[in-house]
Amino acid sequence: MAQFALSLLTAALALASAAQAQCGSGSPHATVTGSGSSFTAKKGSSNVYSGSDYRAAIQAALDSIGSGQRVAVMASGSIGASTITITSGKIFEGCGTINVGNKSGRGAIESTDTSDVQIPYLTMTGNPYFGLRFSGTRNLSLGKITMNLSGGLGIRFDRDRAANSNVKMDVITVTGAGSHAVETWNIDGLEINQVIARNVGESGLLLQATRNAHVGLVDGNNVAAGTGYATFRMANNNGQNANGNYNTNVYIDKVVSRGGGRGVFCVSQSGGVVIEQVDLADNGNNAILIENCYNVSIRGGKVNGGGEVRISARSEFPNTRDIWITLQVDNTSVRESPCGDNTNWTLSGNGKRTIC
C-alpha cells in the first residue's frame, strides 16, 4: 500500500513538474534570458536587445514577433513602475518572476483593443496599480496566472473603455492584493476555471456589466476584511442581457469563502445568475447579501457562522425579485428586509429566520 501511495505521489510530482516545464517549452519564437543587470532578448538566433533594462528586453522580444508567435520570458527581474504592452495575436509566457512597481492608472502588463492575445503562464510580484489591464479585447486567453503581491489590484478590465468579448481564464491565484484580485467590466462571454484569492483587500472576483459567463470556482480566504466587498461580488448591472432582461446567463459552480468580509454579494441591478453551491464560514460581514438583484438562484451548500444571510433593497432601484435560495444555515441568522418580490426559501440548519 505504501509503495502504491509512493508511486501515486511520484506520478503527481512528475505531473506537476511537467506542467511547470511547459512554460517556455518547445521552440519559442523569441526569448528573454539573463539575470541581475544583464538581459538578452533574442528572436530565433538574432539579438534584439542586450543590456540592463529587463522591461526593455521583454518589450523588444514582444515587438520582434508577429501574430501567432510566442515569447518566453525565462529571466526573472523587475520592470519598475512601467508597462509592458502586448499587441494582437501574440503569445506571452512569463516563466521567470516579473516584479512590478506602481504606475498610476496603468497596468504592469496591458493589452488594449486587441484580438487573440494569449498569456498561458505568468508569475508576478510587487505592488502594481493594476497587474494586468485589459480593454477592447476579443478572444483573450489567460492561463495559469500567479500574483504574489504586496498591494494593488490583480487583473482589471476597464470600465470606461471599449468592451470585451470571449475572454477565457484558467487558474488565477492572487495573494496580497490591496484591492480586488480580479475585476471585470464590460465582457460578453467569459469563462473562468478558478479564481483563488488569499489575503486580498477587496473582492476575490468582482463581475460588473458582464454577461454570458461561466465560472468554476471562486475560493477566498481572508478576502475583503473590514469592507463591504466579498469573495464573489456581482455589481453594476452584471448579468443584465442586452435586451434589458435578466434571463439566466451567469453560471457559477461553487463559491468558497472563509473569514474576511462578505462571502457572496449581489448588488446594484445585477442578477441572471445561478450559483450551484456555496461553502461559507466565519465571514466578518454578511455571508450572503442580495440587494436590488433580479433572478438569483443559489441551489445548495452551507453557511456556518459569520454574518447573516440577507435579502435587502435600497429605494433608488427596483425591489429585489425572483430569488431562489436552497441552503443549510447554521450558527448565524437569515433575514429578509424589506420583503423581496417572489422570494423562495428552502432552508435547513439551526440559523434563526426572519423571512417574509
Find the Cα–Cα–Cα–Cα dihedral 296, 307, 150, 121, rounded to 10°: -30
pLDDT (average), residues 199-210: 99
Tell me the Ramachandran region of residue 11: left when phi exceeds 0, alpha when psi lies from -120 to 50, beta otherwise. Answer: alpha
**Mean residue pLDDT across the chain:** 96
Query: pLDDT value at position 16?
Result: 45
Q: How many CA atoms within 13 Å lie on the side-chain side of 167?
A: 29
Give me 79's grid cell: 520592470
pLDDT (average), residues 306-328: 98
Q: For 28-163, where are the E strands, in sequence order?
A: 30-35, 38-43, 46-51, 70-73, 77-80, 84-85, 91-100, 107-112, 118-126, 130-135, 141-149, 153-157
For the chain, give the percent of residues with pLDDT over 70. 94
Per residue in 92-139, pLDDT tens?
Answer: 999 999 999 999 999 999 999 999 999 999 999 999 999 999 999 999
d(CA 83, CA 324): 45
* Residue 4 reports pLDDT greater than 50: no
* Residue 19 reports pLDDT greater than 80: no
Backbone angles phi, psi at 62, to 5 degrees: -60, -45
Check: pTM over 0.75? Answer yes or no.
Answer: yes
Q: How confident is the model at residue 3 (pLDDT cuts 50, 70, 90)?
A: low
pLDDT (average), residues 144-170: 99
* Residue 14 reports pLDDT greater than 90: no
Query: pLDDT value at position 10?
Result: 52
* Residue 8 reports pLDDT greater than 60: no
For the chain, give the percent of residues with pLDDT over 90. 94
Query: pLDDT value at position 61?
Result: 99
* Residue 306 reports pLDDT greater than 90: yes
Q: How confident is the model at residue 44 (pLDDT cuts 50, 70, 90)?
A: very high
The owner of cell 528572436 is 43
CB 86 within 8 A of CB 112: no
- In b/e form, how buried is each residue of 221-253, taking b as 16+ CB within 10 angstroms? bbbbbeeebbbbbbbbbbbbeeeeebeebbbbe
Q: How confident is the model at residue 7 (pLDDT cuts 50, 70, 90)?
A: low
CB 330 within 8 A of CB 304: yes
